[in-house]
Structure 1
Amino acid sequence: MNAVVLLIAGMSVCVSVRADDTYVVGGLGPTKFATEEVQDLVDLLREEIISELPLGYDQEKPLPEFTARLYREQVVAGTNFFVKVETGPLRFIHVRIHADLTGEAHVVEVQIGKTMGDSLEYF
């Protein structure tokens, strides 16, 4: 009986909310400044990201900038990255990238018409 109670108590600790950074298991982590690793991921998937942009969004010519500024992570069966990418002076897109457990990454969705002030939320 005591072993069952300890096991249940241990399981409840694993899924609790951490109040210091509002992290919830399976939920979106806090917004952070983009790291070199996040920029490398964006660079790796640049062509795939650009192919998701509508025809009127500079698809036919090189974008002057393609810099990851902020990101959030969601741990699922792999990791979802929600990344704010600057594509020109004060011009931003949001990109959702999924990296599976084998390390393969692909673009899930791209949102246009974003500003630096728009928060990164699930989409």
Structure 2
Amino acid sequence: MCLITQDQPNLQSIKESMIPACSCPSICLLLFPVSLCPLVSADSLKMSSGKGMMCGGMSSDALEADEKIQNICDGVKAEAEDKAGKKFEVFKAKSYTSQVVAGTNYFIKVHVGGDDHVHLRVWAKLPHQGSGVELSAIQHSKSHHDPIEYF
């Protein structure tokens, strides 16, 4: 349910005129940036799994990488090596977080050998965009302990 802040009583009319049947924060997120949305409280941004959502729809808790995430990494390995200017002997996805956009941005921590890690931002396209994945950005010189953040 969307919550109205008590210090802004005129927001009830905004809610009623723009979102008459609002019962889910995801509807509000379509109309307002999370950081500006007057209709959604921080508590209502908790997803059903109990995990939080950061500004912009990015999940706040990193998840352990699974086969799907490793396949995404395998699909962009050559491009990551080109951007890094070196070959990676190891390219093992460790953890990730995601952000729903027009498709999905995956922020993935990848072990590349020794104590070295890189962070990848990979965009998974929607079917009408041709599907597939695209490496958007890479961060070098990361460690196992560095948190995955938006970049």
- Indicate the TM-score class for this superposition, using the shorter chain for normalisation: 0.7 to 0.9
The answer to which structure has the higher strand fraction is: 1
Where in structure 2 are there 5+ consecutive unaligned residues?
A: 1-14, 29-43
Change (3 A) 1:75 1:37: same
**Which residue number in structure 2 is paired with residue 94 of structure 1?**
119
Count of residue pairs brought into register by the alignment: 114
Distance across 2 between alignment mates of 1:41 and 1:101: 14
**Which residue number in structure 2 is paired with residue 49 of structure 1?**
80
Q: Percent identity?
A: 29
**Which residue number in structure 2 is paired with residue 73 of structure 1?**
98
Q: What SS does the corresponding residue of 2:57 show, helix, strand or coil?
A: coil
Larger Rg, first or second structure (1 or 2)? 2
Q: CA RMSD in A?
A: 2.3
1:10 equivalent to 2:22? Answer yes
Distance across 1 between alignment mates of 2:101 and 2:114: 33
**Which residue number in structure 1 is paired with residue 39 of structure 2?**
none
1:21 equivalent to 2:33? Answer no
* Aligned-pair CA distance for 1:82: 0.3
1:35 equivalent to 2:66? Answer yes
Contact 2:81/2:88 (CA < 8 Å) preserved in 1?
A: no
Answer 1 or 2: higher relative contact order, Cα 8 Å, separation at least 6: 1
Where in structure 1 are there 5+ consecutive unaligned residues?
A: none
The answer to which structure has the higher helix fraction is: 2
